[in-house]
Structure 1
Amino acid sequence: MRLVYILFIILPLFSVSQDSIDVKKKGTLSGQWRTYGMMTSNKDGLKDFNALATGGKLKYQYTLLENLELGAAVYNSTNLGLQDLTVPDSTTGRLSRYEEGLFDRLDLENDAVFLLGELYAKYQLAQHSFTLGRMKINTPLINPEDGRMIPTLVQGFWYNFKRQKTVVQLGILNEIAPRSTGKFYGIGESIGTYPVGRNIYGNASQYANNTDSDYIVMANADFKLTEKSSIKVWNQYVENIFNSFYVKPSLKISESVQLEGEWLHQNRLGDGGNGIDSLRYFHQNSADILGLKISFKSKGGLVILAYDRIMPQGQFLSPREWGREDLFSFQKRERTEGVADNHALVLNYKNEFDVLKENLNLTSILSIGKHWKPEVTDASLNKYAMPDYTHINLDVFFNFKKLKRLKPELLLTSKLGNGDIPDNPNFYFNKVDLFHVDVILNYNF
C-alpha cells in the first residue's frame, strides 16, 4: 500500500507543475459510463432477481518527460435500488448469484462503491515497457472479466517486451482487487471473497480468511514457430498454493481453417494455502486440462467447435475472484472451475450484419454448449455441486455508425439441467433450469 500512496501524491504534483498549454498536450482524460441491468428467472417457486446499476470509470493519464506515463483511474458502481438483494430466497436461504456481482458483494448495503483501481507509473521504450502500481492485466487466469461493473484489478510490477510476432511478459503481484468488491486484498486474502463451495470431504470449505500466500509470479512467451504455426506459453506461480502451466499451440491449416490446442497443468505448492487440512484451498497434488478447438471462417461468419477435458485425478482450481477462465469451452455466466472428470463441448457462431439502412451494425455470437459433470453428490470431483447442463447464449453487440461512443450489449442465457438431478432446490437454484438477461449500455469517452 505504501507504493500506492506515494504514486497518489506524486501524480497531482506533476500535473499542477505544468502550465495550462502543457497539461492539455500531455494529460489525457478518458473513461466509460456504464448502466447495467440484470435479471435471473429461477426454476418454479425459487426466487427471481433483478438489479440495475450505473457508474463506470474515470481515468487520467499524464506523460512526464518523454517515456514516462503516470495514470490513475477511479471505478464506481451505484445501486439504483431495483430490488433489495440482501433478502435471500426463502427455500434455500441463498442470495442472488449474478445480480449481487454488480455491486460490492461483501457489503450489499453499500449503494455506491468507489475504488481507486489504477494508480501506476509506466516507462515505455520502443520494445519494452515497465509498469509499477495498480493496473489492469489480461492473462488466461487473471483478467478483468468485464461482465460486471468493476473489473478485477491487480497491484505489482509488470514487464512487457514486444518485437514483431514475439511477446514476452513478466509480472510480480502482491495485491488483487476482485471484481465486485470495493478494495484491494493480499493474495491469500483475496481467495474466498467469492462462494467457497465444498471441500473434498463434502463439508463447507473453510479456506476464506485462512489462506496464506504473499505473491504471484506470472511469466509469458508468445512466438511464431513457422509461417502458419505459433505457440503461447504461460506460467502462474502462486506462492504456497499452486502453480499453473498453460500451453496453447495454433496451426493455420488454410485461409479459412485454424486448429488450436491447449494444455493446463496444475500442481500444489507448499501446503496448498494452509497446513491444516480442513482450512486448505488446494487439496490435490495435480490437475490437468486438455482442449482442442477448430475454427472455420467464411463469408457467412465464424464457426468454432471447442472441446475441453478435465482429467479425473484432481479438480481444476482457479480462484473465481481473479477473473474468468480463458478456456476453449468457456461460456458467459458459468464456470468449469471446481470440477474433475469433466467433458465440455461448445459450438460458437459469430456473425456481423448491417441493419437500419446501414446506420446500425450488429455483431451476434450464438453459443451452444453441453457440459458433462461428475455426480453432484461427489464433493471430491464437483466442488460446487453443479449438475450436467446444456448452456445456450445469444450475445448481441450494437454498433451505431453515428454514435460511435455508444456500445450497447444484450446477453440472453438459458441453462437447462440434464439427466437425473436429485430433487433438492440447492442443485437448481442459480445453477440450472434458469433464464438470465443482461442489458448493458456502455458510453466510452
Structure 2
Amino acid sequence: MKKFQIIIYLSFLWLPLSAQQDSTVWKTAIELGLRSYFMSTSYTGDFKNDHAWGQMAKVETSTSLPFGFKVNGEYLGFLRILSSDLRALDPRVPNLNRYEVGLFDVNHLDRRLFGKIGKLNLAFEKGKFQAILGRMEINTPFINQQDGRLSPTFVEGLRVGLLPNPNVHIKSNLIWAVSPRSTGNWFALDESMGMYPVGRDEFGNPSSYFGNTNVDFIHVLDIDFTLKDNTNLQLNHTFVENIYSSFLAQWDKSWNIPDSNLKAITGIQASIQHGIGNGGNEEVDLRYKNPEDFNWIVSGRMGLQSRRNLWHLNYTKIQGKGRYLSPREWGRDPFYTFIPRERNEGLGHADAISTYFQHSLAQKPLQVYTFMGLYFLPDAADASRNKYAVPSYAQLNLGMRYNLKEWVEGLNLHLILMGKAALDQQNLKPAWVYNKVNLFHVNTILNYTIPWK
C-alpha cells in the first residue's frame, strides 16, 4: 500500500500551490489534551496482582484551507509514571498481564516514554460530499476506537462520505494500515493481527497466525437512515480481504409514552459473518479464520429514558458454525450486551444478558451508572467454540463521571470499578481465571482539554 502513502505526501505538497490561487485566509485551531490513567487488578485467589499509572499528552491541529480543504494532525506522547513489573509472568499461567499493559506499548513494554503520530490527513468538504485521505480515527461497528486506555485506535486510508439527503448518510472506508490502541507505531493490517493475546486455534493449539496472515485491505460501508418518529436504521458491511465478510443491520427507535415524561427505547441488531479466501493463510495451522465458518448474531434492547435517567435491558445470542472472530486490535464488539473491559469475540455460541442504569444529578455535573451482565459461554476447554478459554461469568461495573469545571474548565474525572466472577467455581484451571474472572479491577481517569483558536 505504499502507493497510497505517496499520494498522501504529494497531496500535502500540492496545498501551498493551490492556496496561491485563492485569497481565503488560512485558519488554524490547536487543541492540547492531557489524560492521566491509573489502573489496578487484583484477584480473589493467589494470582499476580498488577497496577499501572500512565500519562498521555497530545497536540491536535486543524488548518482550514481554500476550496474546502483542511489539514488535520495530531501527535501523542506517552509516559509510564509507575507500574508493577508488567513483563513478569504469574507462576501458574504463562501469560502476560492483560489489562495494565494496555496503557503502554504492548510490543515494547520496556519503553517508559514514547510517542506517535495519530491523525495526519487531508480532508475536503463541499456541499453533500466529504473525503478524508490519510491517518484518522474511525468509529464503525466492527472497526472502531475501542474503549478507554490512553489513546484510541487509528487507521490509514480513504474515507468518502455522501449526504444525498438530510436523512441518509453514506460512508465508505478503504483501509490499508492501522495503529492499534496500546501500540506506539503504525502497521500493515496483517502485521497488526496477533499483537493482543492470540488464544487457541480451533484444534486447541496456541494460535500461530501472528506474522503469518495475509490481508491487504479492509472495506467498510456504512449507511445510516434517519427515519420518521425517532427511528434510526444502520446498515454495515465490513469486508476484510482474504479473511471474512460481516454484515450488520441495526434498528433503533424511541417511543413517547402518553401522559408521562418518559420515553421507551427499543433496538434490534442482526449480524452474519462468513469466512472468505483462505482465512489468512493456506496452511491450516497458520490461518486466522476457517473460511468455512458461518456465524449469525442477534441482539435486542428495550428500556426507558427520562430527562435524568436511562435504563435498558439487553440480550445477545451468538450461534452458527465455527467461531465469530474479529481482530481485537481493530475494535470492540458492537452488540447491545457489550460491557467495557470484556468482549464476546472468539465464541462459537453464547447467550448474554445485560442491563444498564444511568442517573445524572440535577445540582451537580455528576453522572453515575452501572452495568450488570450474565454471559453463558461454551465450555472453556472447547477450543473449537471458545478461542480464549473464558468460562461463563457475571460482570458488574460501577462508574462515575464528574465534570470539574468549577475547578478548571475542560477538566473531568471518570471512575470505573469492575468485578467479574465465574458462574461455576468448580474445577477452574488457573489459565481460565487469570486475566478473565474472579477479579476486581479499578480505573481512575483524569482528562484535561485546552482549546486554543
Which bracket does the TM-score occupy, shorter chain normalised?
A: over 0.9
Change in 2 beyond 3 A, CA 1:15/1:441: farther
Which amino acid letter does the alignment assign opposite residue 268 of structure 1?
G
| Aligned partners of 2:147 and 2:340 also within 8 Å | no
Matched AA of 2:151: I
Query: Is 1:293 paired with 2:301?
Result: yes
Report if the CA contact (8 A) 2:405-2:412 is conserved: no
Once the two structures are superposed, the pairs formed by residues 113-152 of structure 1 within 5 Å of their partners are 113-152=114-153
- Residue 326 of structure 1 corresponds to 334
Match of 2:427 among 422, 428, 443: 422
| Whole-angstrom distance in 2 between the partners of 1:8 and 1:34 | 30
Between the two proteins, what is the percent identity of the paired residues? 31
Tell me the secondary structure at the aligned position of residue 113 of structure 1: strand
Measure the CA separation in 1 of the matches of 2:439 and 2:396: 11
Q: Per-residue CA shift, 1:205-247, capped at 9, x if unaligned? A: 1111111000001101111344343311000010000001000
Question: Is residue 208 from structure 1 mapped to residue 216 from structure 2 by the alignment?
Answer: no
CA distance in 2, matches of 1:186, 1:38: 30
What is the alpha-carbon distance in structure 1 between the residues aligned to residue 25 and residue 404 of structure 2? Answer: 29
SS of residue matched to 1:249: strand
TM superposition shift of 1:413: 0.2
Q: Tell me which amino acid in the other structure corresponds to 1:243.
A: S
Cα distance in structure 2, aligned partners of 1:303 and 1:76: 37
1:390 aligns with 2:394: yes
**Could you tell me how far apart the structure 1 residues matched to 2:37 and 2:82 are?**
12
**Shift, 1:341, TM fit:** 1.7
Matches of 1:77 and 1:15, distance apart in 2: 32
Q: 1:306 to 1:78 in 2, by over 3 A?
A: same
- Shift of the alpha carbon at 1:113? 2.3
Secondary structure of 1:80's match? strand
Instruction: Indicate the residue corresponding to 2:413 in structure 1.
Output: 408
Q: Deviations over 1:136-171 (max 9, x none)?
A: 011111111141112110000001123423211001
In structure 1, what is the equivalent of residue 356 of structure 2?
A: 348
Q: TM-score, normalised on structure 1?
A: 0.93
Give 1:44's aligned residue.
45
Identify if the C-alpha distance between structure 1 residues 66 and 31 changes in structure 2 by more than 3 Å, giving closer, same or farther: farther
Q: Which of the residues 417, 422, 441 maps onto 1:436?
A: 441
* Partner deviation per Cα, 1:44-72 (whole Å, 9 max, x = no partner): 21010000000232111111114100111
SS of residue matched to 2:82: coil
- 2:273 corresponding residue in structure 1: 266
2: CA distance between counterparts of 1:328 and 1:370? 13
Q: Distance in 1 between matches of 2:82 and 2:7?
A: 37
1:317 aligns with 2:325: yes
TM-score, normalisation: structure 2: 0.92
Query: Following superposition of structure 1 onto structure 2, how do residues 156-305 of structure 1 map, counting pairs within 5 Å?
Result: 156-162=157-163, 163-255=165-257, 256-283=263-290, 284-299=292-307, 301-305=309-313
Q: Does 1:372 align with 2:376?
A: yes
**Cα distance, 1:272 vs. partner?**
0.9
The answer as to whether partners of 1:188 and 1:209 remain within 8 angstroms in 2 is: yes
| Contact preservation (8 Å) 2:217, 2:240 | yes
Deviations 1:363-418 (A, max 9, x none): 11200000001101111111000011110001211112423300210000000111
Instruction: Determine if contact 1:77/1:150 at 8 Å carries over to the other structure.
Output: no
Output one character per residue of 1:163-188: Cα deviation in whole Å (capped at 9) or x when no partner.
Answer: 42321100100011111111111122
Point out the more displaced range, 368-377 or 159-168: 159-168
Letter in 2 for 1:198: R
Structure 1 counterpart of 2:445, which letter?
I
Q: Distance in 2 between matches of 1:129 and 1:212?
A: 31
Q: Is the 8 A contact 1:151 1:178 kept in 2?
A: yes
- Residue 423 (structure 1) shift: 3.5
Q: Write the distance in 1 (CA, Å) between the matches of 2:17 and 2:361.
A: 48
Q: Which amino acid aligns with 2:199?
A: G
Q: How does 1:49-60 map to 2 (within 5 A)?
A: 49-60=50-61
- Counterpart amino acid of residue 70 in structure 1: V
Paired residue total: 439
- Counterparts of 2:9 and 2:150, CA distance in 1: 23
Over aligned residues, Cα RMSD in angstroms?
Answer: 2.3
Tell me which residue corresponds to 1:99.
100
Indicate the larger mover: 184-193 or 170-179: 184-193
Letter of the 1:242 partner, please give it. Y
Cα distance, 1:17–1:229 mapped onto 2, change above 3 Å: closer
TM-aligned CA deviation for residue 322 of structure 1: 0.5
The alignment partner of 1:320 has SS state of coil
CA contact (8 A) 1:56 1:149 kept: no
- How far apart are the structure 2 equivalents of 1:324 and 1:393? 17
- Aligned 8 A contact 1:43 1:428 in 2: no
Distance 2:314 2:73 in 1: 38
Separation in structure 2 between the aligned mates of residue 126 and residue 103 of structure 1, nearest angstrom:
41
Deviation at 1:24, TM superposition (A): 9.3
- 1:18 and 1:214, CA in 2 relative to 1: closer, same or farther beyond 3 A? closer
Distance 1:319 1:47 in 2: 27
- The secondary structure found in structure 2 opposite 1:188 is helix
CA distance in structure 1 between the aligned counterparts of 2:316 and 2:400, rounded to whole angstroms: 25
Change (3 A) 1:274 1:13: closer
Deviations 1:329-384 (A, max 9, x none): 10010011011220000010011004xxx4x4111120000000110111111100
Stretch deviating more after TM superposition (364-373 or 163-172): 163-172
Contact 1:161–1:168 (8 Å) recurs in 2: yes
